[in-house]
Amino acid sequence: MARMLPVFLWRTRDRLDLAELVRQAEGKSEGPALGFFLETAARLGGSGVFDETLRRLRASARPARPFYFFVGAHGRPWERAAADENTPAVARQWGLLMNMPWESFASYFEKAAEL
């Protein structure tokens, strides 16, 4: 599902109410996740379409310390080690740790973004 979110955001970019999406994400403490997925979609799509939204999110969505994106990962040593090794740089910038390398997002985006 995580690999699909950048594709979804990219494919619906002209129909998204970004202000409402940010408001909802911030209200649920999901600003870092939204920022990561929007930035991933923009980078893979080669567009600055989300730049203003990303600026707004960066101002309010930086956790004090990185956290594991997938629930329960902090309690599984092998998953923590894999996340420490495989987290994409852009996810780290948003304070997220995940066992999904950038190449995984990029290859899925390439296959599915224009379907």
Of 76, 77, 114, 81, the C-alpha closest to 97 is 81
pLDDT at residue 62, rounded to an integer: 77
Of 57, 55, 10, the C-alpha closest to 34 is 57
pLDDT tens per residue, range 49-83: 999 999 999 988 778 899 999 988 888 899 999 99
- Average predicted confidence (pLDDT) for the chain: 94
User: Which three-class secondary structure state does DSSP give residue 67?
Assistant: strand
What is the maximal distance between C-alpha atoms in the chain?
41
The structure tokens listed for 30 are 């999901």
First to last CA, the chain: 17
pLDDT at residue 60, rounded to an integer: 82
